Chains A and B, each alone.
Chain A
């Protein structure tokens, strides 16, 4: 056996440091307070409201993202057209925009005095201080996570598979549904999981755009922030639930995607 090189040792130390730093706060959430106290502090209507709202809004946002984002990502991945690079960059922009700036931007666009505010108002659509506003904020910040993965997944599909599908009598839509989507399902579910995780944790844009009204716009992260000053144990309990949810999503996707049998 050869001795590991100095660089290997340094890399191993770096990995240990990374793992410790990333895992410690997550572990601490569960060890800082006795499990009994965590469960007891969840027995609070406000906490349950926040969790319910988080699941509802993130679920709605994810549905919108998948429904609209999948065909959009397909086009970006499979067609060459003028402005395609610009479109790809635009799709990724929310990744780097600070959530607070995103909230302000959403207000400036869809708020009562925003660019399309009066049109939305005329159509009877109100977003600010409404649950729909939370969905809008989550959709805005989370969509790039799905779109990026979906676009990369679709781009990796052998174009000959799509050609083969067409010559076998399948229309473009059928080819998308029966070959494109199943052949990229690993990327699609990974993207959906990432987007959902991001939506569950969204804080800044939601607070600025939709506010923090209990039962209407106060999602779990906003409830954690509200409790943090007065009830640290309650904040910890909600955090623990969110961490468990996120971890469950991640593990479920990991287990479901590699070589899952779709059709046989």
Chain B
């Protein structure tokens, strides 16, 4: 178990946040830039000394504000993937990965490093310098380097933000596999809620140094505690099994039996990311008007959260889906928890992420 209770004055804000993550579980810290997410990560890794608080991991106390005791970062051995990866530019890929391997002969270190690079499919780049690598390749070297030290916790700071959209999708698949296999607590920092909900078991939303809400991504999207959280949590993720559909589309069967259409090609496990304001709510009967929207899925309203003139509607397909509509629309449809409705959205509104299976055995 990793738990951190951190207070630290930062340049513009005061960091005052606590979190705990179970081994094998991944918590995403989501929030706008400047919210203190990276500082929180640095405090856990030992790169930022809090003014007060307690940080412990695996039964060891890393920082205790009461005694002033602080374990050095090199003794905490957190596997950190830094923003922009921070690969050592003067070392080849394998040297980067082998950097944290101590007490081994050179040949053994190289062997172990190549093994790790091979796991990420880049053994061919063993002797390449970071400057010669693409963004996606750098990310893999950074992951291999972080895993090489057999870390006590895995900390990832915006691991996908340096990548273009296509590489980010591929990288997020790999990352999700790494996180699924990891047996240590993982903390993922991101400003992108969709990424947080794709990769993490739980999401903690940070704003101006504090955690304002914590829960599963679906809960946060469906019942945001504030307009701020609602603004940030603009994404629902529907996971299912995809098969090719009509030209350029595919059909995703959700665990609850509903089938939705998305643009793109995918076969097997996949996910569709939907933003609440792209989801329309129709009354369940009659059969509905002719519409260009391809997706009309029966749903039950499970919650309503007013946000000024808007209402965030939690829906169950039975998979959780958030929709955002005006207060007048909610009133004219007489929406209330338990109401049977139809959720509608255009296939083009959903973003297909192929190859993302459901996270298993997690809370």
Contacts and interface: CB of A to CB of B under 8 A. Distances in A.
A262 B89 CA distance: 11
B283 to A, nearest CB: 54
A39 interface: no
B100 interface: yes
A163 B82 contact: yes
Interface string B68-89: 0000111111111011101111
B99 A183 contact: no
Contacts of B72: 166, 171
B216 interface: no
Nearest to B89: A183
A49 B91 CA distance: 44
Interface in B31-46: 42, 45-46
A183 B84 contact: no
Contacts of B76: 167
Contact of A164 (B46, B82, B90, B102): B82
A164 B88 contact: yes
A183 B95 CA distance: 14
A182 B149 CA distance: 22
A39 B91 CA distance: 46
B63 to A, nearest CB: 15
Interface residues of B, number: 31
Interface SS of chain A: helix, strand, loop or mixed? Answer: helix
Contacts of A78: none
B47 interface: yes
A160 B84 contact: yes
A167 B99 contact: no
A168 B90 contact: no
A122 B127 CA distance: 57
Given A160-B82, A163-B47, A169 B90 contact: no
A182 to B, nearest CB: 5
A169 B84 contact: no
A168 B149 contact: yes
Given A160-B83, A166-B47, A264 B88 contact: no
Nearest to B75: A169
Contacts of A169: 74-75, 77, 100, 102, 149
B86 to A, nearest CB: 4
Contacts of B79: 167
Contact of B99 (A160, A170, A264): A170
A161 B74 contact: no
A88 interface: no
A43 interface: no
A75 to B, nearest CB: 18
Given A183-B90, A263-B91, A168 B100 contact: yes
Contact of A166 (B73, B87, B91): B73
Interface string A221-264: 00000000000000000000000000000000000000000111
A183 B78 CA distance: 23
B125 to A, nearest CB: 13
B145 interface: yes
A158 B74 contact: no
B83 A167 contact: no
A165 interface: yes
B93 to A, nearest CB: 10
A166 B74 contact: yes
A158 B90 contact: no
A164 B80 contact: yes
A179 interface: yes
Given A167-B78, A168-B99, 6 more contacts: A161-B86, A163-B73, A164-B86, A178-B99, A263-B95, A264-B92
30 contacts: A158-B86, A160-B83, A163-B45, A164-B80, A164-B145, A165-B99, A166-B72, A166-B74, A167-B45, A167-B47, A167-B76, A168-B74, A168-B100, A168-B148, A168-B149, A169-B74, A169-B75, A169-B100, A169-B102, A169-B149, A170-B74, A170-B100, A171-B72, A178-B99, A179-B88, A182-B90, A262-B90, A263-B92, A264-B95, A264-B127
